[in-house]
Structure 1
């Protein structure tokens, strides 16, 4: 499977409406299959596969969990220093600060509202994938000067995209 690595990742995705369409069900199945087949991947967002929906999957306790219309609330201000990679930015890993403990909210593939507490790597993964649904890539979360440079570059690209839409 090839993953999208272009400016479309810098655009906030559309919220999913229930009941799920056949198209959205197929996207969820594609995410499950890709994560099951890729032993190294921890999470995968629909927009990385070229689909404009607020959906991602992540591995929790050796199972792929589909998260639709995700959000989270930090449980404390304590931060977790994470080394992150991304299927859409091959060969790069960065150091980020993420909330160490969060309450994650999402709708399951069966249209059931879920709230779960996550910590450490699982918390970082949920935040990384939620960023994807909000049009934010990991380079923007990088600590230090490189992160600042990436944020400025992404802001210029977003402004350019907005001008093209006018």
Structure 2
């Protein structure tokens, strides 16, 4: 059952460490309502992405919604993309470290290595399959959100404690 209002699950909530379940019926009315609520929450929270487990729902879906904001002033502007059952198909050899934060890990930022370029596939909100390539910051968002579906947090990817800061 979908909860009427969504709240961010924070570090310590066991759902953040679980493997999310694949979505089997994209057209399900409750799922569509949940996706719309998640889109609204992403805008309200001023984040650049949000995954279903972050609001205590074990679905393999997330939203990538890059836009300049106080946390990421140089983020590129893009329309939000709903990604259902997303998969990383291939990636560059090159990895780049960049600062990340997370709505589920408030007050902490970390220097996280991520692939510079990736190729992905996913279903959109209507169930249509997409293949796309992302680079730089948007590739970072995708990888960060995909980690949420696998029970991994950005703090798990930080090389050492010196790459973590409290904000």
The question of a shared fold, defined as TM-score above 0.5 by the shorter chain, is answered with: yes
Gaps of 5+ in 2: 1-5, 67-76
Q: 1:77 to 1:64 in 2, by over 3 A?
A: same
Q: Distance in 1 between matches of 2:26 and 2:144?
A: 26
- CA positional deviation for 1:36: 2.0
Q: Distance in 2 between matches of 1:67 and 1:106?
A: 5
Q: 1:96 to 1:66 in 2, by over 3 A?
A: same
- CA positional deviation for 1:137: 1.1
The SS at the match of 2:39 is: helix
- CA positional deviation for 1:138: 1.1
Partner residue, 1:32: 39
Gaps of 5+ in 1: 148-166
| Contact persistence 2:26–2:125 (CA under 8 A) | no
Partner residue, 1:12: 19
* Aligned-pair Cα RMSD in Å: 1.7
Q: 1:56 to 1:19 in 2, by over 3 A?
A: closer
Query: Greater CA deviation, 11-20 or 42-51?
Result: 11-20
| Contact persistence 1:74–1:99 (CA under 8 A) | no
Number of aligned residue pairs: give it. 146
TM value normalised by structure 1: 0.82
Partner residue, 1:57: 63
2:136 matched to 1:120? yes
| Contact persistence 1:57–1:64 (CA under 8 A) | yes
Q: 1:146 to 1:8 in 2, by over 3 A?
A: farther
| Contact persistence 1:55–1:68 (CA under 8 A) | yes
Structure 1 segment 136-147 matched on structure 2, within 5 A: 136-144=152-160
Structure 1 segment 86-125 matched on structure 2, within 5 A: 86-125=102-141
Structure 1 stretches of 4+ moved >4 Å: none
| Contact persistence 2:26–2:32 (CA under 8 A) | no
| Contact persistence 1:35–1:64 (CA under 8 A) | no
- CA positional deviation for 1:74: 3.5
TM value normalised by structure 2: 0.81
Q: Distance in 1 between matches of 2:28 and 2:58?
A: 14
